[in-house]
Structure 1
């Protein structure tokens, strides 16, 4: 290994999503060529998977306004896993989370799911107070599930 290679790897940050991605590949992936997925990708310890998905909570909250579909459905997905130990798609997690929300906030998730699945072209304007309430409520549910 060349000296500059060592410097590159020493300065490269870790990817906190890697444990999540590996787990998703092993649980939901489809092999289209080559060895079976479980022979190629290692099993991720549960604690590492949970740490990986939880590391994205603050980012999901921070992008609720700029990338609402990602932020809204990621919070649903994290909570659904923490409470069920099942890996849901973003669509499935959004639908799963609806009963956790007060009625006046369900439109946020419903519209995000519809845009995500392609049955709606764009996200509607979300009341700022509702978005803040959604964020606070989801973080509270997540904290309670940890």
Structure 2
């Protein structure tokens, strides 16, 4: 379980902001896949009865900007879905609201997120259902449908080009996410990033192992973020080839 104060504050914020439409609040991500690591966000999905209003969107952004990653707190990733957009299931699913600190500059300029299609919801909803970790409301299976395995596979592969655009700016996260995609395609499991990296390390040629090993060690807080002299892009490209071959098979 992540820091109690952080999750309690987030639950209170959602109740206060979405009092008439909130159906359930669920943990997923690192908190439910072996425990939070030094760089882990607190990942939360909220399921609502109807779309979040513009005023509610603005209130959520304003409040989350004050606490996410501030004064030693963990960063928060909050996703809100309308139940009718994910049950019955269809692809791609719609994300009704997203807060993530990688978008902080946009939020601070007054950009408020709007609903839109989001293939990334397929693995997220799968994690929510498997974790079964409600912070409020019934078990998630009472509100959302399971994601067909074929849709899970195509959803995780859909994000690979965007990840490759960020190899140089978000190296650790990109490498670990690619490792997790490859692991999921082969095993059918969604594992923690460090567990996925461990699985992939045994399948890498010797020249790429130090790169992914560094990413895993940084994620676990064992090493600092330093990529000098390491072939990060070459490693990422090898991971992408493994993903492509596994998806094709």
Q: 1:58 aligns with which of 153, 156, 161?
A: 161
Which string of whole-angstrom CA distances, capped at 9 and with x for unpartnered residues, describes residues 81-126 of structure 1?
Answer: 1111111111111111001111121111111111112222323325
Indicate whether 1:133 and 2:234 are aligned: yes
Give the C-alpha shift of residue 140 in structure 1.
Answer: 1.4
Indicate whether 1:32 and 2:167 are aligned: no
Q: 1:74 aligns with which of 167, 177, 185?
A: 177
Cα gap change, 1:131 to 1:23, in 2 (>3 Å)? same
Which whole-Å CA distance do the structure 2 matches of 1:21 and 1:32 have between them? Answer: 16
Structure 2 length as normaliser, TM-score? 0.50
- Normalized per residue, the structure richer in strand is 2
Indicate whether 1:105 and 2:198 are aligned: no
| Structural mapping, 1:88-103, within 5 Å | 88-103=191-206
Q: Is the 8 A contact 2:126 2:147 kept in 1?
A: yes
Which whole-Å CA distance do the structure 2 matches of 1:13 and 1:33 have between them? Answer: 25
Q: Is the 8 A contact 2:212 2:235 kept in 1?
A: no
Give the 4+ runs in structure 1 shifted more than 6 A. none
Which whole-Å CA distance do the structure 2 matches of 1:121 and 1:49 have between them? Answer: 33
Indicate whether 1:48 and 2:154 are aligned: no
Q: 2:189 aligns with which of 83, 86, 108?
A: 86
Which whole-Å CA distance do the structure 1 matches of 2:166 and 2:176 have between them? Answer: 11
Structure 1 length as normaliser, TM-score? 0.83
Q: Is the 8 A contact 2:176 2:216 kept in 1?
A: yes
- SS for the counterpart of 1:121 is coil
Which blocks of at least 5 consecutive residues in structure 2 are unaligned? 1-53, 55-95, 97-113
Comparing 26-35 with 47-56, which one deviates more in the overlay? 26-35
- SS for the counterpart of 1:32 is strand
Indicate whether 1:120 and 2:223 are aligned: yes
Instruction: Kindly tell me the number of residue pairs found equivalent between the two proteins.
Output: 136
Q: Is the 8 A contact 1:63 1:71 kept in 2?
A: yes
Which whole-Å CA distance do the structure 2 matches of 1:77 and 1:126 have between them? Answer: 24
Indicate whether 1:145 and 2:246 are aligned: yes
In structure 1, the partner of 2:31 is: none
Cα gap change, 1:132 to 1:122, in 2 (>3 Å)? closer
| Structural mapping, 1:15-26, within 5 Å | 15-26=118-129
Task: Supply the RMSD in Å over aligned alpha carbons.
Answer: 2.0
